Structure 1
Amino acid sequence: MKPSAIPVKRPFPVDILEAIAAAVFDAALPCPSSPLDPLYLPNTANMPTSSPSAFPAPHWSEPVARKTLANMCLVSKDFYYAAKPWLWRRIEVNLPRNWLRLLDEICGEDEEHTPPQVIPTILMPVSTDGYPHLVVTSPPSSLSTPVPDNNVAMLSTKRVTQLANVITMPDKDMRKRTVPLDLLSPGVSRDPSPRRLRARSPGRWRFIRDVNRRIHAEPGLYVPTPVYSRPGRYVRHLDFNHFRTISMRHFVGDGTRFVTEARLERLLKEMPNLRVFGATELIESAVSANVLAELILRGLPYNGAPVRGRGAVRLKHEMEEADDEERRAEYKPLEALDFCGCASPIFATSLQQFVKETGLGLSYKPAQPKRLASGHFNGHAKEPSLIPVPLRTFPGLRRLCLDGVASVSPDILSAFVCSFPSLTHLDLASTCCTPTLLQALAATPTIRLHSLSLSRCSRLTSESITDFLIDGGAVTEGIRELSLYGDATAPCPLTRWDLGRIVTEAKCFIRGQLEYLDLSGSALDKSHLAGFSPQPSLRSLGLNFLGANISMHEGTEGRTEGLTLGDIRDFLFNKAPNVEIVTLVGSTPELTGTIHDGSPHASPAKLTASKGAISIALHSQLLLPLCVPACISSDSPNYSPPEPPTRLRVVELSAFTLSCLGTGAFGWKIVKSRGGRAWYVDSTAVWADGALRRGVQEGKGKEVRVCLERWACEGSPHGVGWHARKMEVLHGQGMFGREDGLYGAVSFAYAG
């Protein structure tokens, strides 16, 4: 009897392993169609779905995907090489210790340990036996890692194809020069050593450049491509959203700053394929002018060093600048930048220095009159005689968030923002944005805005916003997410007349394409709601602090009675039935329990309703008519109950109003954020498999209801909330993006 053959394990093809790693990475990316809900955990056992679904989860969490890729690297060597690029593709720095490890892994050395005068060159002296030979000598003895003399190798060109750690090229001056061994051989072929000779990124880049130039100069010579083991070339996403330094100096370092300008600049030089970068207020002091140059001046065409005439001598700093420009020309340009919360004077000074050094600014040219449909020019239109035009542009960047960057002067802000002519997402909330900036954006023919936030911009005027939204043309006609949020301290500057014009004339309103709209702090009243076109795509609506700006822009004749719950109910029922989230903080007298007297100057409001009356008004006038289907009796066996008239399931309310609701009723629960915001949520309404289901008690979606009830009793974690106030630009989700960390606090926690 023959023994059974031992099965042989055959490795998977490389493309299959790479496809598996790519699928794991893609599972953690946000889906284009969001269910507007936080990521309910734990439900990672189910496969993510791309449809609007809260259960199963629309995507994995980032830590789950990262841990899965890390475990794949431990399976085998083939899995390691397939999963490593995807493991390093997205980096979120959270702790100082991890930041220092990241520097050592990607850069390889600290500033104080960088060996001086490491300039790699290549040589090929002529041999006496008729064959060209290569000489690779050790570095100078003055460096920290000496190499014995017997490491000098004499090789013929026929053996170059067999040894990947030797690169040969002819040199005209026939002089022997030194090449650091770390630039010639991959790191996996030798034992790692923290004190090994290494070169900085510009020096390493010059080495690769010389190799490529001489390869093209000698087409018959085979030169193996040098393999560099550092993972910086895999990184596409880098952000500091979760970075913390509180109480860390006792465990890491001696009290100095962890993220410094030199460290951050050196790290960015090692990432030629970086496409997304996010900073916070904890590292804003490290975002210097040089760091901004490394981020923004990427992917620009290199025209060569300027010629200064015969016999001109180029200075050292001029050569370094030329090398930096040539190196950045080979890098990929950034697609998204997030500077949320960078409001210190240090960051403002760095941005001002960058704008001046790179020649950014606005020039003015005469405006061309618009041609009418009849073919004649309109010479009587109210148009500016001069329009601002940027002096220099960077067409690669598409998404920009400057939320809270309030210390940058208006002229610097305008010059910086207008230098990006391909923007689709722009967040200027709480900045010194002026009408000049909006005028310059409207005059840029290549901008196609999809998401725009002008929240709490006190320098804007009602006329400038109106002209930008109505006369912006292709720049603003495609807007789907618009935030004009204002509150009692910084109201929306729109007057009643201009708000009426926007509602009835702006193309983004007329076409009914808006998905997110926030008119908080404006003078919105019943007449404006009546002028709205049907909004079938609207999913999130902000109506906080209505009437807060009437006393600022309107006189006595501009005062109205404001909106009531009945007006909002009729608008949602007739024109926006797909709205799922509405914010009503301090908007209607039924919820605040206060009324104003009829005097010309508004006197302090007086409490006129009890807490029980506020709860009854909310449920009877808004929630029950919009969220409960009509009762229709039928004896048919195939009878199915009708759907509710709207999809409303989340209402943001003030702390006083929520205190009148107790623990909730009819399945509605109070969910509070880690800050001052809170919501009244229908725990029985769940997006499951692409459909909104109400009255969920058991079966699919039960986990979501249990999770909401737990948050109502124990409190919610970071990043939980609805109707974000900060634009998510790193992944391009806009105002529907789900963020936690410092970005999530701005989106869902801050009440102002």
Structure 2
Amino acid sequence: MVSVSVDETRRDLYSLCLVNKTFLKYSQPLLFRRVQITLPYRFMLLLDEAERASSTNALSAIRMLDFATFRAMGLRRTVGESKERRFVTPWRLQAMVDAATGLVAFGSSATMDSALSLEVLESLLLRGGARSLPGRMRGVSIERGRNKDTQNALQSLDLCGCVSPHFVEAMCQFVDKHLPRLDHGRRPIYDLAEEDEEMVESEVDDDEERRGRGRSSVRTRDQSSARRMAPRMTVRSHGRSFPSLQRLGLAGVTLARDVLSSFVLAFPNLTHLDLSQTKADAGLLEALADSHVRLESLSLSRCRALTSQSIVDLLFSPCTEDLIELALQGTLLFPTPLSPDDMRMVIQRAPCMRSGAMRYLDLGGCPLTDEELKLFHGQPALLDLGLGSISSISLEGVSSLLLHRAPNVQVLDLSHSCGAHSPSGFVHAVNLYHDLLAPCTQRPQALAIAQQLRRLGLKQDSAADDEDDWHAPTNLRVVELSVGALSTVRGGLSTWKVIWGSGRRGWVVDTAAGPKPCATDIESEPMVQDRGRSAQSGEGRRAPRLASVSPAPTRSLLTEEPRTAGALRTEDTRGRTGSVWLNRSSSRSRAGGMHLRPPELTMRGANNAPPVPTMRSRSLSLSAPRERSEEASWKDVPVAPQVVRDLPPEHPRRVELEQLARQDGSVPGTVGWHSHKMEVLLGYGMLGHEIGNYAWLAYQAS
């Protein structure tokens, strides 16, 4: 099957709706499943459909309502008209949300955040419905046991970039009306049984005493277990919770700390949480560590109010044991608040770092040196690594980390890093090639010369087959650098070319490399317990859990087609191109009822190779941290050859990448690597992005 874009699929479905009533009956629900509001008049037409009684069934098929691409510019309206006569008003948006009874994902943007009133927030969160139960029949998605008169509960909410005073006021009103405010000066007031009051008071006293005399360098497992076994505290009866919502994006919102904390803690079943560039503080992280939340993707990038203690407590709590994506990015001016001792402890003993299941990791701005890089556990599943804004590391240390601990990394961020030993303060092209690109991606000199001789017909021996089977020691294909470093690369280094984004970010990309069509998922290495037992055996055995990671759909299927290890894409019978993902151990859908679970998965690569069936499984093996010394010897992580290099000049992927390199930054905002914004509507996490403002936040410098 040939891959088609989402727009082409919509045009085909619209054409089918015009055939006859039978085609209209079955094509219209698929056409309305994912609605993206781009222009005001499209919103007004959809609002007219909501006011018609005959269109109730069509609007009830909406699963995702997205305003990421909404724009009201270029309509020949004055500034006064744009301010006084808005297209997206609170009552219109509320009517739209109420008509979309099947809605499970909602995404807003800064271009319409003034319409998010208290009534709209109540319509989104207080829907009173049950979670949708997706299923499939003959390749067509259906809703199992769905009653058309009931509403689906919201499962994904993205409020990134919403800074309007109307929105902030509405959020404060929502929290005051439905949620309890949290006091950050002391612990929240809870209703407890009399026999539990003394235990809680003693716990508070112990915490205050520990803060007064200073925290020890290592928290023992007994202390952590005692804290988890403390009596659960129930919030006052006037507070509410929303167990259906699983993915929440709050990047860049300007809510006060108490409002933000109360809102985030109202969702006990979160799996994706984006708090980047917010006022999140230590009190919120402490409450998350004490909650029942089990996160898979977490972003705390550029949160200046956090403390080193709060980050460590969260990363050592059960809340983050299942993490596969973690972003702690900082800048040179505002680095991550982790202290060097805490950073070393996180690298060595944090459960998420020991599991070997991390897919995305951004430690930009953290206190790291080459010595800390040597302490990393093997990360066979790591695909995207951020080490920006760290001047104390060197290219040799990064190269050693990739060769021995994380050889499957494909995207590497080194912006404003590795320049401490350089007179210019940034990486030079010569050092970049000899210290990083050559040892990680190039053939050894002897093999390169033998290959050239064999092509000339001057060398024919039995070692030819072994040389043809050679693969690079790592899967590295994209390196992000600062502006000064990219200026030294200029015309490129062999097939490595400079691609500038539409903002201030730029990358050195191997234009002759691409994902292998038959690549499969990478299994994480199980951790070893103290007595040599597997983490899945013995006392405290934990049931294996399958975690899914999918790349987001991107521009022309090539700007970032494979950010996962498999670099896989699927296509269902509706013609919609998606991504291969794993069935979770529970019955919930990864996309919250939109991207439904197929019975069979096939793969197709960038060169339209035939589908190859595959089975993917990964178990997050978690156990008690095991002490190890810095001198302990660990075996190297083997590389999974999932990147094809030396693509021919006429290959479509190479042609498109070279075209992007020639455009010198005149590219759409969706072009880029190493996302800084979490995608929550479809559940792609930090390994994916959406279009519109979402992509701008993901791939632009701020």
Counterpart among 604, 617, 621 of residue 435 in structure 2: 621
TM-score by length of 1: 0.64
CA contact (8 A) 1:298 1:329 kept: no
The Cα offsets for residues 461-493 of structure 1, whole Å up to 9 and x where unpaired, read as: 0010001101x11x2100000000111233211
Find the partner of 1:83 among 27, 30, 33.
Answer: 27
SS at structure 2 position matched to 1:404: coil
Q: Distance in 1 between matches of 2:227 and 2:510?
A: 49
CA distance in 2, matches of 1:379, 1:400: 27
Structure 2, unmatched stretches of 5+, are: 131-146, 183-187, 191-196, 204-220, 451-459, 520-642
> Which of 78, 86, 90 is matched with 1:261 structurally?
90
Question: Given the alignment of the two structures, is residue 526 of structure 1 paired with residue 370 of structure 2, yes or no?
Answer: yes
What corresponds to 1:678 in structure 2?
A: 506
| Paired position in structure 2 for 1:459 | 305
Aligned pairs for 1:172-187 within 5 A: 187=54
> Which letter maps to 1:94?
T
Structure with greater contact order relative to length (CA < 8 Å, sep ≥ 6) = 2
Determine the structure 2 residue equivalent to 1:713.
662
Change (3 A) 1:238 1:645: same
Match of 1:142 in 2: none
Of residues 409, 414, 425, the one that matches 2:272 is 425
Does the Cα contact within 8 Å between 2:88 and 2:112 map onto a contact in 1?
Answer: yes
> 1:663 and 1:67 mapped to 2: Cα distance?
41
Q: 1:380 to 1:635 in 2, by over 3 A?
A: closer
How many Å separate the matches in 2 of 1:91 and 1:248? 22
The one of 742, 746, 751 equivalent to 2:693 is: 742
Q: Does the 8 A contact of 2:373 with 2:401 survive in 1?
A: yes
Counterpart residue number, 1:536: 380
User: 1:72 corresponds to which letter in structure 2?
Assistant: L
Alpha-carbon contact 2:297-2:685 (below 8 Å) kept: yes
Map of 1:704 onto structure 2: 653
Deviation at 1:71, TM superposition (A): 1.6
Indicate which of 401, 415, 427 corresponds to 2:249.
Answer: 401
Per-residue CA distance 1:139-183 (angstroms, 9 max, x = gap): xxxxxxxxxxxxxxxxxxxxxxxxxxxxxxxxxxxxxxxxxxx6x
> What CA deviation, in whole Å up to 9, does each residue of 1:232-268 have, x standing for no partner?
2111110100000112253999541110111101111
CA distance 1:379–1:66, shift in 2 (3 Å): closer
Distance in 2 between the 1:234 and 1:243 partners?
21
Alignment of 1:97-136 (within 5 A): 97-108=41-52
Q: 1:694 to 1:290 in 2, by over 3 A?
A: same
Does the aligned pair in 2 maintain the 1:544–1:585 contact within 8 Å?
A: yes
2:244 alignment partner, SS class: coil
Cα distance in 2 for partners of 1:336, 1:234 equals 16
**Whole-Å Cα distance in 2 between the matches of residues 329 and 726 of structure 1?**
36
Quick one: which amino acid aligns to residue 435 of structure 1?
Answer: A
Q: Tell me, yes or no, if the aligned pair for 2:678 and 2:689 is still in contact at 8 Å.
A: no
**How big is each residue's C-alpha offset from its partner over 1:543-596, in whole Å with a ceiling of 9 and x where there is no partner?**
11115xxxxxxxxxxxxxx21110100110000000001111111127x944xx
Paired position in structure 2 for 1:499: 343
Q: Aligned partners of 2:321 and 2:659: how far apart in 1? A: 43
Task: Please tell me the residue identity of whatever aligns with 1:618.
Answer: L
- Equivalent residue number for residue 235 of structure 1: 62
In 1, the alpha carbon distance for the partners of 2:493 and 2:269 equals 48
Q: How far off its partner does 1:526 sit?
A: 1.6
The one-letter amino acid paired with 1:275 is V
Shift of 1:625: 0.9
Paired with 2:160 and 2:56, the residues of 1 have a C-alpha distance of: 33
Residue number in structure 2 paired with 1:588: 418
Question: 1:74 and 1:96, CA in 2 relative to 1: closer, same or farther beyond 3 A?
Answer: same
Q: Is the 8 A contact 1:97 1:252 kept in 2?
A: no
Amino acid at match of 2:166: I
Q: Which of 635, 641, 645 is the equivalent residue of 2:461?
A: 635
Correspondence list, 1:252-331, <5 A: 255=82, 256-299=85-128, 330-331=150-151
1:389 to partner: Cα distance? 5.4
Distance, in Å, in 2 between the alignment partners of 1:718 and 1:410 is 31
- Alpha-carbon deviation of 1:92? 0.3
SS in 2 for 1:234: coil
> Pairwise mapping of residues 298-377 of structure 1 onto structure 2 (< 5 A)?
298-299=127-128, 330-362=150-182, 363-365=188-190
How far the C-alpha of 1:530 sits from its partner, in A, is 1.4
Letter of the 1:330 counterpart: T
1:52 alignment counterpart: none
User: Retained in 2: the 8 A contact 1:387–1:440?
Assistant: no
Offset at residue 330 of structure 1 (A): 3.2
Aligned counterparts of 1:458 and 1:452: Cα–Cα separation in 2: 16
Cα–Cα, structure 1 residues 241 and 378, in superposed 2: closer, same or farther, change >3 Å?
closer
Superposition deviation, residue 656 in structure 1: 1.0
8 Å CA contact 2:33–2:61 kept in 1: the answer is yes
Pairing partner for 2:483 from 655, 660, 677:
655
**1:690 Cα deviation after fit:** 3.3
Instruction: Quote the Cα distance in structure 2 between the aligned partners of 1:284 and 1:106.
Output: 21
Letter in 1 for 2:152: K
What's the CA shift for 1:739? 1.9
Distance of 1:383 and 1:63 partners within structure 2: 49
SS at match of 1:412: helix
1:669, 1:709 within 8 Å by CA — same for their partners in 2?
yes
Query: Any conservation in 2 of the 1:360–1:416 contact (CA below 8 Å)?
Result: no
User: What CA distance in whole angstroms lies between the structure 2 residues aligned with 1:743 and 1:532?
Assistant: 32
Letter matched to residue 441 of structure 2: C
Residue 427 of structure 1: how far off its partner (Å): 0.1
Report % sequence identity.
37
Quote the offset at 1:285 in angstroms: 0.6
In 2, are the aligned partners of 1:389 and 1:440 still within 8 Å (CA)? Answer: no
> SS at 2:60's partner residue?
helix
1:78 shift after superposition = 1.8
In 1, the alpha carbon distance for the partners of 2:178 and 2:389 equals 42
The alpha-carbon distance between structure 1 residues 299 and 382, as it changes in their structure 2 partners (threshold 3 A), is: closer
Cα distance 1:588–1:329, how it changes in 2: closer, same or farther (>3 A)? farther
- Aligned mates of 2:234, 2:365 — CA distance in 1: 32
- Hey, what does 1:136 align to over in structure 2? none
* Structure 1 letter corresponding to 2:331: D
1:478 matches 2:322: yes
The 1:254/1:404 distance shift into structure 2, 3 A limit, reads closer
The answer on whether the counterparts of 1:670 and 1:712 sit within 8 Å (CA) in structure 2 is yes
Structure 1 spans left out of the alignment, 5+ residues: 1-45, 49-59, 109-181, 188-227, 302-326, 371-375, 548-561, 595-606
SS in 1 for 2:415: coil
Instruction: Kindly name which structure, 1 or 2, has the bigger radius of gyration based on alpha carbons.
Output: 1
| Aligned equivalent of 2:682 | 731
Query: 1:364, 1:389 within 8 Å by CA — same for their partners in 2?
Result: no
Query: Distance between the aligned counterparts of 2:224 and 2:366, measured in 1?
Result: 34
Within-5 A mapping of 1:203-214: none
* Alpha-carbon spacing, 1:526–1:85, altered in 2? closer, same or farther (3 Å): same
Match of 2:584 in 1: none
Secondary structure, counterpart of 1:586 in structure 2: coil
CA distance in 2, matches of 1:259, 1:563: 49
Offset, 1:81: 1.1
Distance 1:250 1:546 in 2: 47
CA–CA distance in structure 2, aligned partners of residues 433 and 410 of structure 1 = 6
> Could you tell me which amino acid in structure 2 is paired with residue 663 of structure 1?
G
Mapped partners of 1:252, 1:462: distance in 2: 46
Task: Map Cα deviations across residues 425-483 of structure 1 (whole Å, 9 max, x no partner).
Answer: 000001110111112112222x221100000111110010001101x11x210000000
Aligned equivalents of 1:80, 1:506: Cα separation in 2: 54
Residues 328 and 449 from structure 1, CA distance in 2 versus in 1: closer, same or farther, beyond 3 angstroms? farther
- Displacement of 1:380 in angstroms is 11
CA 1:87/1:385 → structure 2, altered by over 3 Å: closer, same or farther? closer
Taking a change above 3 Å as real, the CA distance of residues 593 and 80 of structure 1, as seen in their structure-2 partners, is: same
